[in-house]
Amino acid sequence: MHTVKSHLPPPGEQQIARIRKHTSSPMRAGDWASGARAVLPAVVAFAPLALMVGASVGTSDNPLAAWLSTWTIHGGAAQLITLDVAQQSGWLAAATAGLLVQVRLSAYSTAMVADWRSAPLGLRLLAGVVLSDAPWALAQSRSTGRRGFYLGAGLALFLAWPAMVTVGTAGGDVVGEVAAAALVPALVIGCTVATQLRQRPVLVAATAAGLSAIVTATASAGVALVSAAVVGIVAGIVAEGTRGRDREAASS
C-alpha cells in the first residue's frame, strides 16, 4: 500500500507563511487612525481600572515615583500589585510580584517579531514602548496594515492611560463600587481574543489556559498567568501535532 504525502505544509508552517505575508505591507495614515479608533472601547473599558490605579498611586508612600512608573510599567494590574505589596512588605517581594504579572509582555513582544523584523530600529522601539494587552490583541485581527494599526492603537492607549491614572490620583476611585465596571476590561479583552479562536491550535491553547486559570484560581496572578502560558504552549503544540496527523491520514 502506498502512502501519499500531503502537498499542504504543516499547520505551523502555514501560520508562519501567513505572518510573513503581512510583514512587508507599508504603513499608511489610515491604518494609524483605524487603530486609534479601534482601541477607544478599550480606553473606556480600562477607565475604572485606571482610576483604581490612580487612587493607589495617590495614597502610596511616594506618589511621584508611583505616578512616574505609570509610563514604564504601563500595565494596571502590575502597578496595582506592586504598590499594594510594597505597602505591606519589602521592595523585593513587590518587584517580584509585579514582574511575574509583566512577564506576559515578552510573549506579546516575541509574537510581534515576524511583523516588525524589517522595520527600522526606532519604530521597533516605539512599538515596544507602547505595547500592552489591548493593542496587541486588536492587531492580531488585522490581515493588512498591521504595523500602522498597532501603533495607532498603542499610542492612543499610551497617552490615554496615564491621563486617566492622573485623574484617579486627584479624584480617587469613584467607580470602584460599581461591580459591573470590574467586568468591562475582561469583556473587551475576551471579545477581542474570541475573534482569534477559529484556528484550532489557538482555540485549544486558550481553552487549556482557561482551565489552568480555574485550577490556579487561588494562586497569585503572576504564578497563574505564567502557568497558563506554559499550558497554552504545550496544548497548542499537541493540537498542531494532532491536526497534522489528521491531515496526513486524510490525504493518504
Partner 1 sequence: MNVVLAVAVVGAGSLMFRLLPLVGATLIPDWLTVHAARAAMAVLAAMVVRTVLSHRDDGLAGTLVTAPLLAALAVGLGLWLAYRGRSVLVASGVGLATYVVLAAGFAALP
- The residues in 164-203 that bind partner 1, with binding defined as CB under 8 A, are 177, 179-180, 182-197, 201-202
Which of residues 31, 47, 58, 60 is near partner 1 by CB under 8 A?
60
Q: Is 113 in the site for partner 1 (CB under 8 A)?
A: yes
Provide the minimum distance between the beta carbon of 227 and partner 1 in the complex, in angstroms, as a whole number: 8
Cβ-based nearer residue to partner 1, 104 or 142? 104
Q: Is 16 in the site for partner 1 (CB under 8 A)?
A: yes
Which of residues 32, 53, 58, 133 is near partner 1 by CB under 8 A?
133
Note whether 229 and 209 are within 8 A (CB).
yes
Cβ-based nearer residue to partner 1, 40 or 249? 40
Note whether 59 and 171 are within 8 A (CB).
no
For 134, counting Cβ atoms within 10 Å of its Cβ (0-12 exposed, 13-18 middle, 19+ buried), the class is buried
Provide the minimum distance between the beta carbon of 148 and partner 1 in the complex, in angstroms, as a whole number: 16
Provide the minimum distance between the beta carbon of 9 and partner 1 in the complex, in angstroms, as a whole number: 13
Distance CA 179, CA 250 (A): 50
Distance CA 185, CA 223 (A): 21
Handedness of CA 237, 242, 244, 245 (dihedral sign): positive
Q: Is 125 in the site for partner 1 (CB under 8 A)?
A: yes
Cβ-based nearer residue to partner 1, 174 or 249? 174
- The count of residues in the chain is 252
Provide the minimum distance between the beta carbon of 102 and partner 1 in the complex, in angstroms, as a whole number: 5
Binning the chain into helix, strand and coil, the percentages to the nearest 5 are: 80, 0, 20
